[in-house]
Amino acid sequence: MATVLVWALALAVVLSGVAPTLPGPAAAADKALRVGAPLPLTGPLSPEGLKQKRGYDLWVAEVNKAGGIKVGGDRYKVEMVYNDYQSNTPRAVQLAEKLISDDKVNFLFSPFGSGATKAASGVSEKYGIPTIAATASSEEVYNQGYKYLFGTFTPNATLTEPLADIVKGKVGDVKKVAILARNDLFPLAIGQEMEKSAKKRGLEVVFFEKYAIGTLDHASAITQIRAARPQWIFATGYINDLILIRKQMADLGVSAAVVTMIAGPAYKEFAEATGPRAENVTSAAWWHPAVRYKGPDVFGTTENYNKLYQAVYGAVPDYVEASASACGVILQLAIEKAGTMDPRKVRDALASLDATTFFGPVRFGPTGQIVSLEPPVFQIQGGKPVVIYPVAVKQSDLRIGVK
């Protein structure tokens, strides 16, 4: 009997000694949780990289102010490790590897956009590090069979489908669509998605051309669009392309019942740079400051998020910034749910997460891409983007006519 008791005691001591060391060596020492983020902080994509950084930083500030992330009975402060990949995708992949193996980050946030996210996702998969992508929407990123990659943007079709429904329903005489797309992973993919959405509804695609990255002049393409007389002009690219396209449309006297541009009008810089020409331009994005959600995350509500963002950066947040903050919020919810920093358990917690956050409802599909968001459609009215869909958060109706 006595021997049994001694053995039992010994076992208890051993077990209790083992258990706390399980989460890993970094944990107990400084009580900090490190998240790595390769970002394009310089180079042509730097405006986007800086947006993502602002989103992450706001989340980190809020979490640490609240005492850190709760892991079991402990609290961990969050520390971001940024590496600049200079808008050069191969470098993003190298830096993802460096962040994991040299900087020993516990978790990773993906680089900017679908292309670089896809490229870097192989690295985090190899090391089994849960990774959340803030700005990747193309399905090709998620259908690689990876287990550790999660993303906060729904597939591209979720942007073009509601848009096509609204236009078709509201604008009776819309028959012809012209599409001008930047020859780049996301802008081209969304252009092709638009072509499908248009054809599905019996609209004729009278013009579909790609333009090269770094194009300084769109006059020829716009002249051809003018000759094709479409009622709906759909242009894709990044904000600098779209500012130029909008300006040259005006220069060449092109107008249409509906003009849609993705992705640019969500940024306040678009309306500032195009002035009155921005009026009635429609767009869609995965988030908009006018949506209203409430959740258990550090921000609590969308209103509160907007307010905090405004206080820190003196501006209204756009969908890239909010999505970056949402990555943090989602990671935090998963870690707290798992009660550990063990990468495999956090991965499982992410896969089974079902929560509402300031960003919207969060549920990931089998590929890791979010399935629960309903991306808002909006239009610039009176110099500001106002939501015209979904109905629950609608601020105004679609206005027709872009001059």
Partner 1 sequence: MTLFLQVLANGLVLGGLYACIAAGFSLVWGVLNVINILHGSFIVLGAYVAYFAYVALGIHPFVSVVLAGGVLFVLGYLLQTGVINRVVGAPVLTTLILTFGLDLLLNNAMLVAFKADYRKINLANPLGVVDLGGVFLPLDRVAAMALALLLTGGLYWLLNASRVGRAIVAVRMDREAALLMGVDVPRIYAVTFGLGAVMAGAAGSLLALIFPISPLAGTLYLGKAFVVCVLGGLGSVTGAIVGGLALGVVESFSALVFGPEHALTVSFALLVMLLVVRPTGIVGRRGYE
Residues that bind partner 1 (CB under 8 A): 42-44, 46-47, 50, 180, 183, 209-212, 214-221, 223-224, 227, 239-240, 243-244, 247-248, 250-253, 269, 272-276
Q: Which secondary structure element, helix H or strand E, spans residue 58, and what is its range?
A: helix 46-65
**Minimum separation from the CB atom of position 106 to partner 1 (A):** 29
Q: Which secondary structure element, helix H or strand E, spans residue 11, and what is its range?
A: helix 2-18
Residue 239 or 322 having the CB closest to partner 1: 239
Residue 141 or 285 having the CB closest to partner 1: 285
What one-letter code names the amino acid at 336? E
Residue 158 or 283 having the CB closest to partner 1: 283
**Minimum separation from the CB atom of position 226 to partner 1 (A):** 8
Residue 48 or 62 having the CB closest to partner 1: 48
Residue 239 or 258 having the CB closest to partner 1: 239
**Minimum separation from the CB atom of position 85 to partner 1 (A):** 15
H helical segments located in 150-228: 157-170, 185-200, 219-228
What one-letter code names the amino acid at 362? V
**Minimum separation from the CB atom of position 269 to partner 1 (A):** 5
Question: Per the structure block, which two tokens stand in for 196?
Answer: 């499908």
Beta-ladder partners of 202: none
Find out whether 388 and 395 touch, Cβ atoms under 8 Å: yes
**Minimum separation from the CB atom of position 159 to partner 1 (A):** 22
Q: Which residues contact 129 (CB under 8 A, 6 or more apart)?
A: 100, 105, 106, 107, 108, 148, 343
Q: Which residues contact 92 (CB under 8 A, 6 or more apart)?
A: 38, 40, 85, 111, 116, 119, 120
CA distance 323 to 179: 27
CA distance 179 to 177: 7
**Minimum separation from the CB atom of position 211 to partner 1 (A):** 4
Residue 50 or 355 having the CB closest to partner 1: 50
**Minimum separation from the CB atom of position 264 to partner 1 (A):** 9
Cβ of 183: how many Cβ atoms within 10 Å?
14
Residue 47 or 72 having the CB closest to partner 1: 47
Question: Per the structure block, which two tokens stand in for 143?
Answer: 């259908």
Q: Which residues contact 19 (CB under 8 A, 6 or more apart)?
A: none
Residue 45 or 349 having the CB closest to partner 1: 45
**Dihedral angle at the C-alpha atoms of 304, 305, 311, 314, nearest 10 degrees?**
-130
Find out whether 393 and 290 touch, Cβ atoms under 8 Å: yes
363 to each of 90, 168, 321, 359, how far by Cα in Å? Answer: 30, 30, 20, 12
**Minimum separation from the CB atom of position 240 to partner 1 (A):** 5
**Minimum separation from the CB atom of position 254 to partner 1 (A):** 9
Residue 135 or 369 having the CB closest to partner 1: 135
